[in-house]
Amino acid sequence: MGKLESPMGTVEITGRTGQTRPGFLEWGLLLLLLLVTGALVALGLLYAHSRAIKGPKEKGEICNTPGCVLAAARILQNMDPSKEPCDDFYQYACGGWLRHHVIPETNSRYSVFDILRDKLEVVLKGVLEKSTTKDRPAVQKAKTLYRSCMNKDIIEKRDSRPLLEILEVVGGWPVAMDKWNDTIGFGWELEQQLAVMNSHFNKRVLIDLFVWNDDQNSSRHIIYIDQPTLGMPSRDYYLQEGSNQKVRKAYLQFMMSVASMLRADVNLPTNSNLVQEDMVQVLNLETQLANATVPQEERHDVTALYHRMEVEELQNKFGLKGFNWTLFIQSVLSSANIELLPDEEVVVYGVPYLQNLEDVMDIFSARTMQNYLVWRLVLDRISSLSQRFKDARAHYHKVLYGKTAEEVRWRECVSYVNSNMESAVGSLYVKEAFSRDSKDVVRELIDKVQAVFVDNLDELSWMDKATKKKAQEKAMSIRVQIGYPSYILDKKNKHMDQEYSNLNFSEHLYFENGLQNLKAGAQRSLRKLRKKVDQNLWIMGAAVVNAFYSPNRNQIVFPAGILQPPFFSKEQPQALNFGGLGMVIGHEITHGFDDNGRNFDKNGNMLDWWSNFSAQRFQDQSQCMVYQYGNYTWDLAEQQNVNGFSTLGENIADNGGVRQAYKAYLKWRAEGGQDEQLPGLELTFDQIFFINFAQVWCGSYRPEFAVQSIKTDVHSPLKYRVLGSLQNLVAFADAFHCAQGTAMNPQVRCRVW
């Protein structure tokens, strides 16, 4: 699933704000805005003089509305006019932003995206704390969940008790128990333990089993078997030296601290030698698992990952020293009242991992295996516990992310509730902060960018006619979702209430509420197995500052949360809307044709619709970008280079997105569209387009998180998302009169779409 920007935490996938909609203003405020306009005009004239950039070629009315004044102020504040745009456009467009914004102690990165999310969370805080008797059941539950999260006194009072209770359910945590092998450990079965983790706690440890759309038949669901995630964000932290050793050491110390705390809570001696011995073995096991996994950059070809087989063949190929696949899969499915079919098919994505796992199974005891499985559950639940557990995690987070403070409680709670009850929270957000008539305007933008993508196919000499025709069919078949699903605002439609019907939250039991969410999430996924795929299903909530493309659905989604300035506003010139949201639209459309999306047809089925000639030329064009981005050295990330392979899909989407948006903007003007000048900006419409595109990506990182991003993020660093895309676009060099050979007008350019 392609994402515009990775969520902070995949899902990402990065990974939240109210729409800024200037309404009726009192005369005093209007007078103030007009005074600001005058100041902006003066500042703009000084700016134009200092950079010796020509004034606007086009004549347009100067827009003095509040929306335009605010947009002009934002653009000027974010810029650094002392920099030369042809040398480093990112610094020119974002230098002011970087100078005026300091990364908060609670953040590992701070960007325009993060600011929008912060504002969105303020809106959500207000609506979740608003007390009313008119709320529908789903909304009532969301507010109860929020209050339980905010009930810090009770969480502190209960301390570790809720965690200790569930440890008994999962067979105990040997490191925090006495005589595990003599009691609970007898008769221990790995298959059953993994099934409980998966189906009750949504923790897919050691073996990742999940239900999703069948890549080769997008109308049905199928079971997937894949390599798992690890406790730390990247396999590199387990395998490489240098700064990774610090992270590894902090991770081990974190594990030992939590184990010692729980031992003390059940009146066992701290026994540091035993704790260290057990946790070192856990880290050794996880290191072996990391070594068994395949690096993400080697997993981009989904056609090579996909291996469909019956469970019997799975057992024969991957015996794993006697591991019973039928028992494991049936145990997971039975939690959702689903029977395993005699000829049940699964898709194995992680063939190399399962082959390597065979050797790992022999090395470690049942005690170490159980210690590891339960550690992963404990790690997941730390955020639901009392402050002393978060304090134990603080040093690890500082070394890993560079953060020196925990997020304030209300933000943590808002984010948690939004992540787990997207429809209910989305309905509150849309009612409070989203202009619903924006949908039609956004739809027009999508149509324009979509048409340009199709037109651009004619320019591609590397693609033959037959493949172009297939590409055109796919582009025109893309499904579009804008803002929010209509049913979340329809009180007569009970779908949203039914979605959360199995949840019964208590204001006093935050930990247990979290367990309900984990189980509900697992069950929701598993129950899809025997159901036909709902092509109209929304794959995320409305209160999200991001956008998505789903290859299995050939679908693009633009939640309400991203339909706001600087991306989009009905009150700002179209140069800004095309440079912001237009670029986002083009980015998501292009994901359907990147190194992953191109493997799926117009119906979302993994099908090779390419001629051999075009497929080979696609690889050649892509290799240019792999080389280009792979040669960017990021000083903040210990001078490491960007990974041109793992970021290829996002780089293709970035390049295609800005190219299509710019051409769509030119086409809109050619067809009679009249844009307005912003006050105080002696810039052409084209220049404003590119500046707004760049300013969407203004942001800075902590060094620790920069190192992690290089390892884990499929997106290039913010700076190189701007520079890489614009260096490949002749129109940009023309707009800013960049001489041949300058940094922003290179001799060699890359283009895929």
Predicted confidence at residue 39, as pLDDT, reads 45
Q: Which two tokens stand for residue 484?
A: 């929010």
Amino acid 466: pLDDT = 97
Q: What is the number of structural domains in the chain?
A: 1
| Mean per-residue pLDDT, 269-275 | 86
pLDDT at 539: 87
pLDDT of 459-491, one tens digit each?
999 999 999 999 999 999 999 999 999 999 999
Question: What pLDDT does 179 receive?
Answer: 78
Q: Please choose, from the candidates 85, 91, 82, 83, the residue with its C-alpha nearest in 3D space to the C-alpha of residue 742.
A: 85
Helix (H, G, I), strand (E, B) or coil at 224: strand
Encoded amino acid at 731, one letter = A
325 in any annotated domain: yes
- Domain membership flag for residue 193: yes
**Alpha helices, H only, 671-717:** 685-695, 703-712
H helix count then E strand count, the chain: 31, 12
* Catalytic member of 588, 595, 601, 675: 588
Q: What is the pLDDT of residues 317-346, one digit of tens each?
A: 999 989 999 999 999 999 999 999 999 999
Q: Can you state the angle between helices 112-129 and 409-420, rounded to 10 degrees?
A: 90
Whether 220 is covered by a domain: the verdict is yes
444 is catalytic: no
Nearest CA among 602, 577, 584 for reference residue 67:
577
Q: What's residue 44's pLDDT?
A: 44
Full residue range of the structural domain in which residue 164 is found: 160-385
* Alpha helix positions (H), 548-647: 574-577, 583-591, 612-630
Strand 479-483 vs strand 548-550: parallel, antiparallel, or unpaired?
Answer: unpaired
Distance from C-alpha of 397 to C-alpha of 330, rounded to nearest angstrom = 37
Q: In what order do the strands lie in the sheet with 548-550?
A: 2-3, 548-550, 555-559, 479-483
Q: Which amino acid is at 78?
A: N
pLDDT band at 133 (very low <50, low <70, confident <90, very high): confident
Q: Are 721 and 89 in contact (CB under 8 A)?
A: no
Question: Does the structure show a pLDDT above 50 at 22?
Answer: no
Asked if residue 283 belongs to a domain, the reply is yes
pLDDT tens-digit map of 527-578: 999 999 998 899 899 999 999 999 999 999 999 999 999 999 999 999 999 9
Quick check: is 588 catalytic? yes
**Rounded Cα distance, 696 and 376, in Å:** 36
511 pLDDT above the threshold of 80: yes
> In the chain, what are the helix, strand and coil shares in percent, each to the nearest 5?
55, 5, 35
Dump pLDDT digits (tens) for 387-416. Answer: 999 999 999 999 999 999 999 999 999 999
| Of 650, 654, 675, 704, catalytic | 654
Q: In the numeric block, which tokens belong to residue 323?
A: 């591991």
- Report the pLDDT averaged over residues 284-308: 95
In a domain, 617, yes or no: no
Residue 668 lies in a domain: no
* Cβ–Cβ < 8 Å for 684, 48: no
Query: Across the strands, what pairs with 600?
Result: 606
CATH assignment at residue 260: 1.10.1380.10
Question: Across the chain, what does the average pLDDT equal?
Answer: 91
Residue 153's Cβ-side half-sphere holds a number of Cα atoms within 13 Å equal to 0
